Amino acid sequence: MSELISENIRKPNRMPWVVPIYCDGCASCVNRCRSGNLIMTETNVEGVYVPWLAEPEKCSGCANCTDACAMGAITMTSYVNEAILRFKEKKPVINT
């Protein structure tokens, strides 16, 4: 895995995986995140925002965000390194 992810950092055993196309932008997940770094972030579509982790290492893996989503737009994955890299290296994309 990438050198961007130190083996020494504490990581949860699961992390959120956002599916931007399903998100309606309600921000319920953001309001339920106690880590405070799940924030609404602009996608490749101007004016359309979805949740994205600013500092994924601070995610506890609590799944409060997933529980808050009625749209199935934020699920938990055990592919933690891949999820961290995605949050760090990419912006959310809605394929149009």
Which one of 2-10, 57-65, 77-85, 86-94 is the stretch in contact with ligand SF4 (CB under 6 A)?
57-65
Q: Both tokens of residue 66?
A: 């997933």
When asked if residue 83 is in the footprint of ligand SF4 (CB under 6 A), the reply is no
When asked if residue 92 is in the footprint of ligand SF4 (CB under 6 A), the reply is no
Sequence-ordered list of residues with C-beta below 8 angstroms from that of 51, at least 6 positions apart, any chain: 16, 18, 23, 27, 29, 30, 38, 39, 40, 41, 65, 74
Instruction: In whole angstroms, give the CA distance from residue 65 to residue 74.
Output: 7
When asked if residue 62 is in the footprint of ligand SF4 (CB under 6 A), the reply is yes
Q: How far is the CB of 84 from ligand SF4 (least distance, A)?
A: 11
Of 2-31, binders to ligand SF4 (CB under 6 A) are: 16, 23-29
Q: How far is the CB of 4 from ligand SF4 (least distance, A)?
A: 19
Q: Report CA 42 to chain centroid distance, whole Å.
A: 13
For residue 30, which phi and psi values (nearest 5 degrees)?
A: -60, -40
Interaction site with ligand SF4 (CB under 6 A): 16, 23-29, 32-33, 35, 38, 50-51, 53, 59-65, 68-69, 71, 73-74
